[in-house]
Structure 1
């Protein structure tokens, strides 16, 4: 069997649901950032900062601006590096048509084995976390 298209485990609707939920979590729950320099940077960028708890909340517009910037940089033909090694595989930063490179191997894509639950406790990540 020859693979000619990317293998997709999630539909566009499911990916959009993850994106929407991630934006809600970033805005309402936030992220703990243990660097005063990073807190200053993120405040200047438009994030809401709770210095006492070292917590950053990302308004939706900040997330969308960052995503738009990332997409633009990703497709920049002058981007360096043009590819990056990631866990026995490579990510290619081009808008070329998809192709499986000869050294293809399976990767988790950098996803965590653990997550922090809404109760603030570290626990093993589960497929249900993405639903």
Structure 2
């Protein structure tokens, strides 16, 4: 999960980067927008901030639900599966309980943004 988070934030930064002071502000705003959608549990909106490998690894709500098709075929109630997806989404949002976007460093067409987060550790 930590590898994914690094890749996701990296992709957000590549997506946002251009580069100058206003570009640094744009990168920071993009990262803040991504983190806000994560905190809100809006996986579909979150994915719009990602590109490349990070976007490929990131599941939207529909992706999560489609991943449970075999359970539905085995007879698990559709409502139960929707509640499971809701719980997964809430758990993901808990990783971002609090966040603080710090320094932005712009080099060429890439930006690095320091983000401190407080929330549950998904490895647990």
* TM-score normalised per structure 2: 0.29
Q: Greater Rg, structure 1 or structure 2?
A: 1
Higher relative contact order (CA 8 A, sep 6+): 2
Q: TM-score, normalised by structure 1?
A: 0.28
